[in-house]
Amino acid sequence: MKLALILLATAFAAVSADKEPWCRCAAFVTYEHSEFYVYEIPNIPIDSCEDVQMCKKTCAQMLGDVSNDGDLWSMTDSGVTVGQEICSYLASHFVFFITNKAVYGYYEVCGGAWQYAGVQSQQRLCCEGGQQHHCQLAMVEIDELMFQLAMRLVDDTVDVSLGHDAH
């Protein structure tokens, strides 16, 4: 019995030791009760899962590099603005309207919780029908209502698909 436990513990330690550490870095927009993923850069290599500060610093630097320090109107190598790339990504996931939202950078180390990287966009993001537009401050409430309506529709769809009454 003791031998079996020792072998099991040794095997678990060997598998855990082979796990390569990694750092994820992404951009999100914030709503009252949620964060909405809008962009991710390739994983950042780190030496260990203890390299939290290196992950944070590299993430902030890389997000700054790809966005010209958070400029949503900066042109990318593909010939569109940073904001348009985000709006196009969102539209491909059926999110057609974002109004007056800052874009924030976050990092994640080895599957842990997402942490704020200390970076945000210079301008607010506004997408209408998948197209980036300059934001108008008066539309903040419309964006929040559209998001809440979309979440309610998703919840109703899930309830109906599970065979429950949606209301």
Q: What is the pLDDT of residue 141?
A: 59
The mean per-residue pLDDT over the stretch 10-18 comes to 41
Give pTM, 2 decimals: 0.69
List CB contacts of 134: < 8 A, sequence separation 6 or more: 126
Structure confidence at residue 166 as a pLDDT band (50, 70, 90):
very low
pLDDT tens per residue, range 129-164: 999 999 985 555 566 667 777 777 766 654 444 444
Higher pLDDT, 91 or 14: 91
pLDDT tens per residue, range 22-78: 999 999 998 888 888 999 999 999 999 999 999 999 999 999 999 999 999 999 999
List CB contacts of 96: < 8 A, sequence separation 6 or more: 90, 127, 128, 129, 130
How far apart are alpha carbons 63 and 54 in whole angstroms? 14
Q: What is the DSSP letter of 46?
A: -
